[in-house]
Amino acid sequence: MESQLKLNEERLRLRDKLIKVRPALMQAEQAVLDEVYKDGALSAKMKRLIAMCVALGTGCTNCILGQTLNALDKGATKEELLEALSVVIAIRGTTGIAESLRVIKLLEEKGIL
């Protein structure tokens, strides 16, 4: 499996390019994200864990990487991430396992697992 950290670097590079070529669009999108992921009835950390699970269910590599890293930035622990993966695997079965390996690899590369 390719380096998840390198994939994420490329994701961020391309996102930054999109910000440059479509600044108004990306500012509007960022405003939506800021609203959605702020603390509320659910903490920002919990929302990022949920988003990671949704991303795993859809198989969106960029989303999986971004949401996993955002969850870590919001204070998610290794145990919380692994428990969230368990929910995805329970719902999705072998496809949940396959996508979850990306998170395992990312945590391994970051020295968390």
Total domain count, the chain: 1
For residues 21-28, average pLDDT:
98
**SS3 state of residue 90:** helix
The answer to whether the beta carbons of residues 81 and 74 sit under 8 Å apart is no
pTM of the complete model? 0.94
In which domain, by residue range, is 67 found?
Answer: 4-109
Residue 99: name the closest of 57, 48, 41 by CA: 57
For residues 96-108, average pLDDT:
97
pLDDT band at 92 (very low <50, low <70, confident <90, very high): very high
The answer to whether the beta carbons of residues 57 and 103 sit under 8 Å apart is no
Close Cβ partners of 102 (under 8 Å, ≥ 6 residues apart): 1, 4, 56, 61, 64, 65
pLDDT digits (tens, 9 = 90+) for 55-64: 999 999 999 9
CATH code, domain carrying 8: 1.20.1290.10
pLDDT band at 48 (very low <50, low <70, confident <90, very high): very high
